Amino acid sequence: MTATVTPREVRDDLIARRELALIDLREEDPFAKAHPLFASQLPLSRLEIEVLDRIPRKATSIVLYDNGEGLVRPAAERLTALGYTDVSALEGGLAGWRDAGYELFQDVNSYSKAFGELVEARRHTPSLPARKVKSLIDEEADLVILDARRYEEYNTMSIPGGISTPGAELVLRARELAPDPATTIIVNCAGRTRSLIGAQSLVNAGVPNPVFALRNGTIGWTLAGQGLEHGQTRRFLPASDKTLDDARTKARDVAYRAGVKRVDAAGYARLREDTDRTLYRFDVRTPEEFAAGHLPGFRSAPGGQLVQETDVFAPVRGARILLADDLGPRADMTASWLAQLGWEVYVLDGGFDGALETGAWKPTLPSAPSADEIDIDAFNALELVTIIDLAPSPAHRKGHIPGARFAIRARLAEAAKQLPDRQVVLTSPDGVLARFAAAKAAAILGRPVYVLAGGTDAWRAAGLPLETGLDNALSLPEDIYKRPYEGTDNAAEAMQAYLDWEYGLVDQLARDATHGFYVI
């Protein structure tokens, strides 16, 4: 029997900044419709393959909830089996939070977005509407447009002439891209948050140029009837010694004003030795720099995305965060925002002169349970077989084994009702999630279940054909919330509704009264 805690107790812990991971076990789409401000979405379907990095300290206070789907008990059992020792259920679940009179927020990364709106409200971050920016472009005015999103988002769609400069890079790169102080700098993202935080970063750092956020980002641009570019590859320039020194001075001053703490190697060691506190360690440089050489134990979290998606990277509210950056300004600027978001945040001075690890970041995984595996040749020899793909729905759409049927792991009991009486093989991108799901799937189906060795990655590596799309799915693709600010096929009504929601976040923060944010 899982212990329960009341919504009032959870709220009190959040206000007091005691360490707490409030975990929503539902899939992303229902989570995006309603959740408490500081809830982090960690679906039961992917619990084992995400939790060790997202909640690294086994004694962390974890509070689980759903909306009556029966997800809490199996999640608590899995967490206990993994060694977590303080797992509780939110009394009444999501409805209990609502019935207590507490606020529910929509969308994803809600508290980072609400904070961005608070920054604009308090600092009056300068911005320009889409039509004004378009007229400046048409007039060939002296300006640069810096796109503060991830490179992949920029590459999908961008403002004409925009240059990919992810948020943490702005203070470091802006003067290289706009060396003349008279050049206007316009910062954009898809919606509002990263535009506002990016523009205010430049203002906070004392960049002498005129600086503006593109009001409402690519959404505002599209709603104004203006065309976007696609497939662009323009990226920021390397920083010269002069601009690097200037950026270091300015960024460190901003971090100091925000109350950011600094530690050297010895201080870092003491933080690691404190086993009573969670310590997140993030490398805020670009993914390419991380792969070329990073400090052991640090996770790749480019600074702009870390500020935007703090709930994803660091679900334990009240934890400590340590940032690393071999150049300095990216960690200082990122830390300045995290401190204002209420985190106890540190910047590591130095550390990159020792032994570094190489390669992309890989998640920490528990030992996968044993499962009956079947290789590709044996699978292809089967005559009557159903293959179930547990990949995220976007990955399934992009490419899956011919005939594979998409399913959400937590929905396998419902999916089983649609299956013919034949052999079942599970797959997932690398086969790991399929191994975790196999025993439960066999119990649900009442028959042996096999796991494809190496998963869909092995199939792809063998040069075998893939299908695309989401035909004949066993589950609705509610594992992903369709963001109105990503992609190129969003309805104008959805984009406008999203903007209207963001405009109301400052008032909702005031009603919620748990955030503890401040703005320098």
pLDDT value for 256: 98
Q: Give the separation between CA 71 and CA 402, rounded to whole angstroms.
A: 31
489 band by pLDDT with thresholds 50, 70 and 90? low
Name the 3-class secondary structure at 266.
Answer: helix
- pLDDT per position as a tens digit, 380-438: 999 889 999 999 999 999 999 999 999 999 999 999 899 888 899 999 999 999 999 99
pLDDT value for 383: 87
In 3D, which of 73, 84, 1, 81 has the Cα closest to residue 315? 84
Q: Give the separation between CA 423 and CA 411, rounded to whole angstroms.
A: 19
CB atoms within 10 A of CB 208: 12
Q: Give the separation between CA 512 and CA 497, rounded to whole angstroms.
A: 21
Q: Give the separation between CA 234 and CA 114, rounded to whole angstroms.
A: 30
What does pLDDT average to over the chain?
95
In 3D, which of 78, 39, 38, 86 has the Cα closest to residue 58? 86
- The DSSP H or E segment spanning 90 is strand 87-90
pLDDT value for 1: 72
Token pair in block for residue 512 = 């919620």
Taken in order of first residue, the domains within the chain and their CATH numbers are 3-107 (3.40.250.10), 115-234 (3.40.250.10), 255-348 (3.40.250.10), 372-461 (3.40.250.10)
Whether the per-residue pLDDT at 91 is higher than 70: the answer is yes
pLDDT value for 487: 63
- pLDDT per position as a tens digit, 449-487: 999 999 999 999 999 999 999 999 999 999 999 887 776
Q: Give the separation between CA 304 and CA 421, rounded to whole angstroms.
A: 49
